[in-house]
Structure 1
Amino acid sequence: MTHADAIIIGSGQAGPPLAGRLTAAGQHVVVVERQQFGGTCVNTGCTPTKTLVASAYAAHLARRAADYGVVIEGAVRIDMAAVKARADKVSGDSRKGVEKWLRGMDRCTVLEGHARFEDASTIRVGGDTYTAPRIFVNVGGRARVPDLPGVHDVPVLTNTSMLALEELPRHLVIVGGSYIGLEFAQMYRRFGADVTVVEMGPRLIGREDEEISAAIRTILEAEGITVRTGAACISLARHDEGVAVQLDCHNGPPVAVGSHVLLAVGRQPNTDDLGLDRAGVVLDDRGYITVDDTLRTNVPGIWALGDCNGRGAFTHTSYNDFEIVAANLLDGEARSLLERIPAYALYIDPPLGRVGMTEAEARRTGRPLLVGRRPMTRVSRAIEKGETQGLMKVVADSETRKILGAAILGVGGDEAIHGVIDMMQAGATYDVLQRAVPIHPTVSELIPTVIGDLKPA
């Protein structure tokens, strides 16, 4: 048995920086990775998909060249093998960088293999056992494959296997109208595929306010994507042209036939084969590791970070998990998840930047609300760039004058939203942001204007 000061299972966004802090503090750390260094973001999430989004945007802009007075002779052609190779290289370089970083750390032992708990302080990797007073679980998640009728009888894709495609689907049917599904929908439509999005709910990305969902649907349908909502009874069957997706929609044909089908209906944690029961670690009914607001599990000496704890499903929340744990263990601080304001982005084009509560969520609190809106058609930067789809929205508490949430669906929305994030994190009232003097011409300069238009909701 090998003894260490700490064991980290998984090398996603939280694990490597935590290893760096612990080893720099003089501790001996064992890091175990059973698949690819870097976790979901680097290998099957943000890094490859946003690289593909960039290629799709280039194709889209090339087709619109005449709008800007630029002449391109002939049709725009997509080389899917080259598109994939570019994404693979960006992802691969990042993965190699993470592995090199870990292997170059003093006092860090890197193991490749499947870690399983023997007890609350011991894991087994292959034929060897390792023990430590502190164990950090950072194992991430994977695509959930729902038990739809026929799902095991037909070839289906997930966000992971989708990245292996070198050919362009003739017709891509995507089951799931949320963030992952919509990003793939737009990128593959821009690559040239016919695309149909099938969503069981009454609208796309149901967690957003209705006006945001409706605007996103308009954006996608304008590019030729077919959207089928209200698909209450979905089943799959083989078809001469690929896969038939049976629907139960109020309008439109009852079947969508695709050459390829992508399932994008959520994620599940990689916690089912770690032997967590031997350590006594409690999971919730979805398989996520239960943690308190400092990321501790119910078992002393075991923490869970990243997607596997159900307290955030993003790269930035995983990294913040690391920051909280490191600050509490090494810096004498008392940080917790309660300090974190939820924020994220949807990377269609134009992107959606989101922070805090939606208007619907804010209404459920019973607070007196103020709401401000502005269409991107009235934003100079959007007009100049010829990208005027979307809107800006801010929700505030009329009594405390604090911003409760904001959404920017429009060009640069994923960047401009950070001005609001910073104000909310600082606990400032909306007056502080309204009095700022932002740079012209930017998208961010309209945020004070939207705040100036706040009205009782």
Structure 2
Amino acid sequence: MTTTRSFDAIIIGAGQAGPSLADRLTAAGQTVALIERKDFGGTCVNTGCMPTKTLVASAYAAHLARRAADYGVVLDGPVGVDMKRVKDRQQTVVRNARGNIEKWLRGMPGMTVIHGHARFESANTVRVGDDLLTAPRIFLNVGGRANVPDMPGVGDIPFLTNAGMMQLDTPPEHLVIVGGSYIGLEFAQMFRRFGSQVTVVEMGPRLIGREDPEVSDAIREILEAEGITVRLNAECISFAPAENGVCVHVTCEAGAPQVVGSNVLLAVGRKPNTDDLGLDKAGIETDKRGYIVVDDQLRTTVPGVWAMGDCNGKGAFTHTAYNDFEIIAANLLDDDPRKVSDRISCYGLFVDPPLGRVGMTEAEARATGRPLLIGQRPMTRVGRAVEKGETQGFMKVVVDAETKQILGAAILGLNGDEVIHGMIDLMYAKAPYTVISRAVHIHPTVSELIPTMLQELKPA
């Protein structure tokens, strides 16, 4: 028997943006239904940021232990990895985070939490099983999943995605990773440190092709120095079963035409979870890749419906999803007009050492035709990095020579994912680079070399 229930707002998805918006709406006295079909917390908590960074931490501990002699520390015997304990630690972090989010949601006044799959019946009505839920405002926070392209033979082999990687309790003998971008490279390094042989297969001419070439080259050198094989210019990737695993056919400029691995990870991008929501019944428009079309305030093409997070194509990160919530809440509840176009692109690549990135690459800045100033400093000239014995990488900044505004920066090296925030804050403040170049930073830190680098800018 179908029942109909009415709310002030419906939120579909309990990822990064949904619970925070629910908190604001219920605190404002509204009745809210939040619908989640699987795990509370979305990708970040369950198969993304939290579990992968937990694994990265375990892999770093193993790597540092193997380097103990470099620091004058003597260990008794070879360093081993108990993958079952590594997995248990990762799963504990995930379960705690997931449970805390569910507890938070269920404790909100005016909140109704529903487990199930929501599909639109009309612009203001969704169906979950036998229940119809209606609300004048509906917020989509349905996230995304790993893209599985229709490569030849992919249906004939077992393969892993980021979600499947979370369930491994033994390191693969030979992990072949298809995709040389952010997700693939993090898994490549961590599983090499767990003891696997690792090969990265990338169709492009270099890793993480959106970055400047020297960033790509430096990261490749870091990975290859740890024994990871990198195969670039893989023009025709295909798969076939092999006696001891999977054969990946690779046409490259150099190297064998195929790689046989025990396991294959597909890390070739993400796709939005928008194909099974009945968006057509609501008249909600999507683009050719399936992302929900939104305006600068995250409103869809249907009045009363908003889209947040990975499903709207405006960002593929936890921090952009959270900012989507902030934009919607500010506009609806705070009379504080905010928009997506005010956001400055920033992100990290969490290999070791990490890459922190903000704004334009040098190539993008040059394409604008502006006169530029460039600053660069190797991590070998950063005292803190030398003291810790972690001198791989460099820092780089691109400045508009006329306005003195920072256009972009990359910090590949010790604490680069944290140090980059000084640049991010300055860019949001719309202040000239001289504000930092004349600042006095704490010694000894990585950040203290930022003013020095800015004092040594040169015309590009």
Please tell me the TM-score bracket, short chain as reference: over 0.9
CA distance in 2, matches of 1:313, 1:160: 16
Distance 1:452 1:437 in 2: 12
Q: Which amino acid aligns with 2:21?
A: L
Q: CA deviation at 1:394?
A: 0.1
Structure-2 separation of matches of 1:274 and 1:362: 39
The whole-number CA distance in structure 2 between the counterparts of 1:453 and 1:231 is 40
Q: 2:151 aligns with which of 148, 153, 162?
A: 148
Q: State the secondary structure of the residue aligned to 1:421.
A: helix
Alignment-derived partner of residue 424 in structure 2 = 421
Instruction: State the partner residue of 1:74.
Output: 77
Matched with 2:335 is: 332
Tell whether 2:170 aligns with 1:167. Answer: yes
What percent identity do the matched residue pairs reach? 71
1:368-391 CA deviation, whole Å, 9 max, x = no partner? 111110000000000000000000
CA distance in 2 between partners of 1:108 and 1:363 (Å):
51
Tell me the TM-score normalised to structure 2 length.
0.99
1:190 partnered with 2:221: no
Amino acid at match of 1:162: M
- Counterpart of 2:131? 128
Aligned pair partner of 2:373 in 366, 370, 374: 370
Q: How many angstroms does 1:190 deviate by?
A: 0.2
**CA positional deviation for 1:137:** 0.1
What SS is found at the alignment partner of 1:251? Answer: coil
SS class of match (2:289) = coil
Out of 95, 103, 106, the position equivalent to 1:103 is 106
Residues 29-108 of structure 1 aligned to structure 2 (within 5 Å): 29-108=32-111
SS of the residue aligned with 1:152? helix
* Pairs within 5 Å for 1:349-388: 349-388=352-391
What residue is the counterpart of 1:313 in the other structure? Answer: 316
Provide the rounded CA distance (Å) in 2 between the counterparts of 1:237 and 1:451: 52
- 1:85-131 CA deviation, whole Å, 9 max, x = no partner? 00000011000000000000000000000000000000000100000
Secondary structure of the 1:27 match is: coil
1:283 corresponds to: 286
Instruction: Tell me, in whole angstroms, the C-alpha distance in 1 between the residues paired with 2:71 and 2:209.
Output: 35
Q: Could you state the TM-score of these two structures normalised by the residue count of structure 1?
A: 1.00
1:440 to 440, 443, 448: 443
Amino acid of the structure 1 residue aligned with 2:80:
R
Q: Gapped runs of 5+ residues in structure 2? A: none
> Matched residue of 1:444: which SS?
coil
| Residue 364 of structure 1: how far off its partner (Å) | 1.1
In the other structure, the counterpart of 1:222 is: 225
The farther-off stretch of 233-242 and 54-63 is 233-242
Instruction: Note the aligned Cα RMSD (angstroms).
Output: 0.4
The separation in 2 between residues aligned to 1:444 and 1:299, in whole angstroms, is: 46
Deviation at 1:133, TM superposition (A): 0.4
Secondary structure of 1:97's counterpart equals helix
Q: CA deviation at 1:453?
A: 1.4
Q: What one-letter code is carried by the residue in structure 2 that aligns with 1:452?
A: Q
Q: How far off its partner does 1:338 sit?
A: 1.4
Deviation at 1:409, TM superposition (A): 0.1
- What residue identity is the alignment partner of 1:333? D
Equivalent-residue separation in structure 2 for 1:94 and 1:177 (angstroms): 29
Report the alpha carbon displacement of residue 48 of structure 1 after superposing the two structures with TM. 0.2
1:342 paired to 2:342: no
Distance (whole Å) between structure 1 residues aligned to residue 244 and residue 123 of structure 2 = 52
| Partner residue, 1:178 | 181
The yes-or-no answer on 1:18 pairing with 2:21 is yes
Counting matched residue pairs gives 457
CA distance, structure 2, for counterparts of residue 248 and residue 366 of structure 1: 37
3-state SS, counterpart of residue 256 of structure 1? strand
The superposition leaves residues 324-355 of structure 1 with CA deviations (integer Å, 9 ceiling, x where unpaired) of 00000000011001111010000000000000
Provide the C-alpha distance between the structure 1 equivalents of 2:420 and 2:16, rounded to a whole number of angstroms: 22
Aligned to 1:263: 266
* C-alpha separation in 2, matches of 1:328 and 1:439: 39
Structure 1 residue runs of 5 or longer lacking an equivalent are: none
Structure-2 residue corresponding to 1:389: 392
Q: Which runs of structure 1 show a deviation greater than 6 angstroms over 4 or more consecutive aligned residues? A: none
